[in-house]
Structure 1
């Protein structure tokens, strides 16, 4: 039976309270037609000890939570009543919930609440703030033996990733087309870095090779024509299997000077639930958004929506030059309560739509660990919600935070279905990169629904395998279907895709279907040097009709050490990803090989990202050696 909750454990236990974290938020959510304040004191019914962080929810006649607050360390709380409030519900982990009808209360009165302990409440407690499932733990080693709380959290980690079934080789004679959506996300790389910096190998499904490749800056040439995206192609001998060739397809989005970028209508959607407590969660969220606020111009606007047990608007749409007002609103945010993510998403889109800029950039930026547990929370429900909202012409950026309970699969779905991008923020430097170094590419879309379709020439290519992009594959028919959603590119964005191909005449063989009776694939002329043709479709941000761009790659024989610097870097990262995944296609890949290729591709490296990559490879090598793996 829980008699008292020590202040030390508030960060762990508050996750289970369903409510809004601060009195200030509760007041802002209520109608301005306030009927008066009510003071409350909440104590344990058995010993009259004050109970801190008790959730108080204000509900409508239909039982909908419209505001709330939590008690302070002395068990004190204050809230306002108006005509919308019909009842009050008081909840605390380990105690029996109590409800009161508003008509029984008088404004200005003092409410003394005695909560009775529940003998069964602790049997199903789940502490997710540190990723722990099972019985609740007090901050005493006696409760869990010699194991540290951190070690217990690691053992009961509840992070969630979508399964990745690696792309296999396809025979050109029967499958000459490869179609996929581009991906500018880079969350996987930062998340992998977090694991390696903590001395752990990442889960296999956390390693999305294309996001690791696209984390890096590549100096591809800007488009020169009317199209906002340029295509570049190249090929070289594959380093992890010298019998094969590696084809690089690179896209470069048009760069736009900051002063020429259109104005922005932004809504910060911030998860302030209990699971966002801790230095790598809400405090880091505040730091990240402060960096962005300092980049805003007078023509830009920002609103702030938060959600925990319910969603609320804590800052109406405000001009970008009123930085003090915006920063003050961020500073006041505190974490506590359960996670009504879907309600927050709806309110954020409604807020963005109310101030939409027809010739500007309209975007919701959500910051969360993805651990939704109130309202729509399944991947399917969230996907349908986002797909419906994106039709308003509002784009989405997803920023992931936290560890232990991190829901990567949900955040990837949000970004994928919401015409947006996805980054994982594991430190302040990553926040700076997202909102300062890459301000334009993060926030300003220049091409949407960007799809690639590659046709291979059977004269030169026996079979092929797309490296990564498993979650972005499309049916061949989807390429010409303008209703089919695909990835978006921001100003200055680069996208790189690698194909491992088995040339005609190679000793390597892949399983194939029987020869087709009625179909015949012919090369473009017996002497054609064309290896493949790349087709790209994109839409301008305001259009619903796609444009087509094509590029041909001619056969080229070169060693990877002679390939351009950016090609070598992308190859090193792909090689590393195959090792982290322990891929069946890793061939003769080794950490030494990755280090050699990456070392030759460092270049000027002004931001130091390539040097950091080399250090991560060395850490992975050390960890894998300690685990007895290659």
Structure 2
């Protein structure tokens, strides 16, 4: 019955009635079946799949045709076939070089990994984060971070707290918590891609130190100048998505996104679950009712063949690629891949191969219990993409409607921000957030890559610094900034360098948004049980946030509630080791 359904679905995708039929199977050299191999039909340009049984059947308009078979880890094979024959296709394994499964989020120049390994609190699991420590400026003056738009950590933390549960330390990524609020956006100067503005003030949790905020704002694309968009919605409809806070949330979010589409944009829908297939071939943005009806019809069931779904979505995106357009796969899942590739290393290798085609990736995570944050994060980081966690209908609307341009349209790729401190002014510094995974620090092959930045994005990079003198005097130049990036339309590297004068601003004269940002950073440190906030308390977070929160901001007012919840869960004393 399932095979008959697959045949019917394949026939639906052809506008011309087929007169012939090509049948066969795909195996490896040892005779084992190879499920989900991609099959490109040369006469039509359509891409099919061998299915879970390794068998395939596809319509043809003539007796002879040419098919190209491909599967990750195997050599591509091109064959001329006759519809009168049953074809057995044998794929040979491809030789692959060694690559590191880890990527760094931050990197201090010349700082040896064995020094960072001393920061470990134990030999924890691969996904464990290692908090950044203070660095001696004289020995290591230069450090850098990979900028990205990920915001998943904040809404995931919110989900834990609203369920009166402790937050796993590794779920706390402070840079993503700060990203969530898009603080202090200011349009860059004419001809500039980014605006970089530093601010120096006291550290509210350590009177001996100071905080250096670096606000980075990206160029905002005007709506009338946006390139045409080729979107592929890749939606997990497996049995694990059959809960109110999973597939229904995602369907709501995708409907919001569809409302932003223009007639020149197109949408396709690929699903994976009980079967993997194309529910909607490329359809113009003007046909909103047709697109919304398909979204409404999605129902959950079956296993989670995430690998097959990702590959099919990318093949569809490639087959309808818009040159100089915005080509993007939007993956929505709880990340629980249980068929095909499952490990983070395998997923990273697969998605790295796909990104080279110039197709971006947006990842939307949902769910609890079996939610696989690390797997979705790997896909987003390696797929030239961004990552958000959807825990409520309001969050779905925020990410896919209100922040549509940030989420979907890219203004800069491979964005890397380098900070060089002046040792005569700064004695030691500590990067807050951008904590690396334990495995990445251990692996000498791990490298750092720049991230993808969307339209109208504002980031805060925060350092806690120990000045040489008690207070950094006015009109000094304690830092030099270098921002490297590429444009989406080409791979030429651009560089923006500044060495601004930085004056110390007293805490009472600091804009409320920076004060509030410091409360968010401190909140994350307490959730991590950071050794660098050992004298701080939940009341300290509340005091700063209450005085600085914008009364008209729903997100900032909600933050006050989350701090109160955390205080009641963790109690007056700092927790020791719950995770």
**Once the two structures are superposed, what CA deviation does each residue of 1:24-62 show, in whole Å capped at 9, x if it has no partner?**
777414687899xxxxxxxxxxxxxxxxxxxxxx99565
TM-score normalised by L of structure 1: 0.71
The residue aligned with 1:541 is: 488
**Pair 1:502 & 2:466 matched:** yes
**Cα drift, residue 596 of structure 1:** 2.0
Corresponding residue SS for 1:530: coil
**Cα drift, residue 161 of structure 1:** 8.4
The residue aligned with 1:274 is: 239
**Cα drift, residue 246 of structure 1:** 0.4
The residue aligned with 1:351 is: 316
Asked if structure 1 preserves the Cα contact closer than 8 Å seen for 2:260 and 2:401, the reply is yes
The residue aligned with 2:305 is: 340
Instruction: Give the one of 613, 619, 630 matched to 2:559.
Output: 613
Instruction: Give the one of 9, 25, 28 matched to 2:9.
Output: 28
The residue aligned with 1:574 is: 521
**Cα drift, residue 506 of structure 1:** 5.7
Instruction: Give the one of 556, 562, 576 matched to 2:503.
Output: 556
Asked if structure 2 preserves the Cα contact closer than 8 Å seen for 1:237 and 1:246, the reply is yes
Change (3 A) 1:449 1:352: same
Quick one: distance in 1 between partners of 2:541 and 2:7? 53
Quick one: distance in 1 between partners of 2:7 and 2:156? 34
**Pair 1:246 & 2:211 matched:** yes
Change (3 A) 1:573 1:291: same
**Once the two structures are superposed, what CA deviation does each residue of 1:314-362 show, in whole Å capped at 9, x if it has no partner?**
1100001111111111122111111111111111111111111112211
Quick one: distance in 2 between partners of 1:533 and 1:61? 57
Quick one: distance in 1 between partners of 2:160 and 2:128? 18
The residue aligned with 1:112 is: none
Corresponding residue SS for 1:435: helix
The residue aligned with 1:424 is: 389
The residue aligned with 1:491 is: 455
Q: How does 1:149-168 map to 2 (within 5 A)?
A: 162-168=127-133
Quick one: distance in 1 between partners of 2:423 and 2:388? 38
Quick one: distance in 2 between partners of 1:556 and 1:622? 39
Asked if structure 2 preserves the Cα contact closer than 8 Å seen for 1:208 and 1:577, the reply is yes
The residue aligned with 1:532 is: 479
Supply the RMSD in Å over aligned alpha carbons.
3.0
The residue aligned with 2:571 is: 625
Quick one: distance in 2 between partners of 1:588 and 1:559? 21
Instruction: Give the one of 546, 549, 573 matched to 1:602.
Output: 549
Q: How does 1:226-245 map to 2 (within 5 A)?
A: 226-245=191-210
Q: How does 1:516-527 map to 2 (within 5 A)?
A: none
Quick one: distance in 2 between partners of 1:628 and 1:533? 37
Quick one: distance in 2 between partners of 1:23 and 1:444? 40
Q: How does 1:464-483 map to 2 (within 5 A)?
A: 464-471=429-436
Question: What stretches of structure 1 of length at least 5 have no aligned partner?
Answer: 1-18, 36-57, 68-80, 86-159, 476-482, 508-525
Instruction: Give the one of 154, 166, 181 matched to 2:146.
Output: 181
Quick one: distance in 2 between partners of 1:493 and 1:605? 21
The residue aligned with 2:49 is: none
**Once the two structures are superposed, what CA deviation does each residue of 1:237-272 show, in whole Å capped at 9, x if it has no partner?**
000101001001111011223333222110000111
Corresponding residue SS for 1:462: strand
Asked if structure 1 preserves the Cα contact closer than 8 Å seen for 2:142 and 2:420, the reply is yes
TM-score normalised by L of structure 2: 0.77
Asked if structure 2 preserves the Cα contact closer than 8 Å seen for 1:59 and 1:66, the reply is no
Question: What stretches of structure 2 of length at least 5 have no aligned partner?
Answer: 28-32, 38-54, 60-124, 441-446
Instruction: Give the one of 312, 322, 325 matched to 2:287.
Output: 322
Change (3 A) 1:495 1:166: same
The residue aligned with 1:513 is: none
The residue aligned with 1:144 is: none
Asked if structure 1 preserves the Cα contact closer than 8 Å seen for 2:330 and 2:364, the reply is yes
Asked if structure 2 preserves the Cα contact closer than 8 Å seen for 1:207 and 1:581, the reply is yes
**Cα drift, residue 82 of structure 1:** 8.9
Quick one: distance in 2 between partners of 1:190 and 1:602? 18
Asked if structure 2 preserves the Cα contact closer than 8 Å seen for 1:30 and 1:66, the reply is no
Quick one: distance in 2 between partners of 1:284 and 1:555? 45
Instruction: Give the one of 313, 334, 350 matched to 1:385.
Output: 350
Quick one: distance in 1 between partners of 2:474 and 2:279? 67
